Structure 1
Amino acid sequence: MRVKDVVSNLIQKYKTNDPYELASRMNIEVVLWNLHQEIYGFYKYERRNRFIFINSNLCEVMQRFVCGHELGHAILHTRVNTPFLRKNTLFSVEKIEIEANTFAAELLMPDELFSEHQDMTIYEAAATYGVPREFAYLKNKNF
């Protein structure tokens, strides 16, 4: 199943695209933690429990994107403990990292947004909805 379809199904099922709300409703513990400045967050699976750790020192907009990214891991790569999402690995070319970034972009910029604002560019949407500009291209606008 495509990442876009997974995200669409989640939004439809839970009636929200808020990564914190989704995590809560799916019993995934989100922990804001004072991590090293280079570590943005990570996902941990342990004994059927799922945890998302987010650096509490990041701005709220980046925390939300990191939550969406790590939620992508929790849903797409449930039993895989992911390495720390670091400032310099945010742009990783590893398949699971690209999938998690795509998940976050699709989640935070849902298709309905473009239906309501048809003249909005992908980069304007990214700026408006808290997706780093570098990841806007991951949003698939094929409706």
Structure 2
Amino acid sequence: MWIKKTVQDLIEKHQTNDSFIIARQMNINIIEHDLHEDIYGFYRYVRRNKFIFLNSNLAEPKKKFVCDHELGHVVLHPEVNTPFMRSNTYFSVDKIEHQANHFAIELAIPDDLLQEYILERMTIYDIAALHHVPVELVELKLKYR
């Protein structure tokens, strides 16, 4: 629950759930670079400077979710350099990756938005497709609701 509260506080403070805007307001450098196709992004902390690297070849919706995930590392694990995020990282059993996924899905789909989807009788597959995230992460969101 602490991750959900952290995300809610962040959204309230920055008046948005857009990780690019939040990162800019927090003076986090976002660098897009032509990375190997298996590498979606990663976070680096260097001399009190924070950098989110994103694969410039990703489609914009995927880039947004990767930024959400990496912002999770910035907020939850600020002084820990993370390994690169790959597609299989979504389902990692590693504690910090799991926490970053939880952060990202809370940021991407706040509770009020999820409630709207439920009222509209959207399936988890509809929600996942709409947000360009794996179904398993929507299931994670529902679990922590």
Which sits farther off after the overlay, 128-137 or 38-47? 128-137
- Residue 132 of structure 1 corresponds to which residue in structure 2? 134
Contact 1:68 1:104 (8 Å CA) reproduced? yes
Residues 109-128 of structure 1 correspond to what in structure 2 (within 5 A)?
109-117=109-117, 118=119, 119-128=121-130
RMSD over equivalenced CA pairs, Å? 1.7
Contact 1:64 1:130 (8 Å CA) reproduced? no
- Residue 42 of structure 2 corresponds to which residue in structure 1? 42
- Residue 16 of structure 1 corresponds to which residue in structure 2? 16
- Residue 92 of structure 2 corresponds to which residue in structure 1? 92
Q: Unaligned 5+ residue runs, structure 2? A: none
Which sits farther off after the overlay, 113-122 or 27-36? 113-122
Q: CA deviation at 1:114?
A: 2.6
Which sits farther off after the overlay, 53-62 or 113-122? 113-122
- Residue 69 of structure 1 corresponds to which residue in structure 2? 69
Which sits farther off after the overlay, 126-135 or 15-24? 126-135
Contact 1:17 1:108 (8 Å CA) reproduced? yes
- Residue 58 of structure 1 corresponds to which residue in structure 2? 58
Which AA in structure 2 matches 1:130? H
Q: Tell me the number of residue pairs that the alignment of Structure 1 and Structure 2 aligns.
A: 143
Q: CA deviation at 1:125?
A: 2.1
User: Normalising to structure 2: TM-score of the pair?
Assistant: 0.90
Distance 1:42 1:129, change over 3 A: same
Distance 1:142 1:87 in 2: 22
Q: CA deviation at 1:121?
A: 3.2
Q: Unaligned 5+ residue runs, structure 1? A: none
